[in-house]
Amino acid sequence: MTRSIVLIHGAWVTPLCWESFQPFFEERGYSAIAPPWPGKEDLVEAQRLNPSPTLKGLGIGEIVDHYERILAELSEPAFLVGHSYGGLFVQLLLDRGLGAAGVAIDSAPPRGAFAYYPSTLRSLSRVLLSWQGWRRILRTPFADFRCAFVNNMTPEQQRSVYDRRVVPETGRIFLSVGAGATEPEQPGPPQLPQARPGAPAPDRRRIRSHHPRRDEQGELQPRSTESGPDGIQGVLRSCALDHRPRRLARGRRLHRRLV
């Protein structure tokens, strides 16, 4: 039974964003690690004052290779949980046959997934329009971060999150997603993950996103973390496999209103 969880953070932040998740899993008997991206090993203050040269030109492939090496050192296939660009990396790692299961939270889009909505373009416009941004280390101003990530918080909370967690970032990853270069370069359609020798066979069911349930009054009802025979493992599997995408649910509600 898998007892390892690897948490992968997204852009503009560090593993500090998982600070409440790690103890949650560890208190329940799991080994939860949150390795940083290459070049993000220092404290937030140090990264702001002197960003690592490693970030300059760092791309998606190099970051995924970095996590592949980390996973190869574990004694068992781990559950992979990623947010934003971390969610994209989880999908790419699964495509390489790594990990026991994966959960992608608000994932950056892989090739073929449309995500260029006005709000997305607005939040990334400064990055995408930066001169030679793909080879530079970029910074996100507070106004852009507030608009893109913490717009549902109070001004005091927004400033607190920005000051405590936001760091400079490689510009190459944003241009890679914009150009659709987020899949392994191989001919033909994307392939199903191939398990490593001795690893359990991957689940072939469609990976779906997880959203809390609502009661009859419309109030959010998050799932119990102890539900199911496998405890947290059951929750992780349900997050990854058992829920329909939000877009389908919205489409069905709209269809019912129209007919």
Give me the pLDDT at residue 129, please: 74
Q: Which domains does the chain have, with CATH numbers?
A: 4-204 (3.40.50.1820)
- Whole-structure pTM over 0.75, yes or no? no
The pLDDT averaged over each successive group of 10 residues in the chain (259 residues) is 91 95 94 96 96 94 96 95 95 94 91 70 72 84 88 93 95 76 42 48 45 48 44 48 41 42
86 vs 93: CA distance, rounded Å: 10
Of 211, 218, 217, 127, the residue nearest 174 (C-alpha): 127
Give me the pLDDT at residue 128, please: 72
Give me the pLDDT at residue 189, please: 37
Give me the pLDDT at residue 215, please: 53
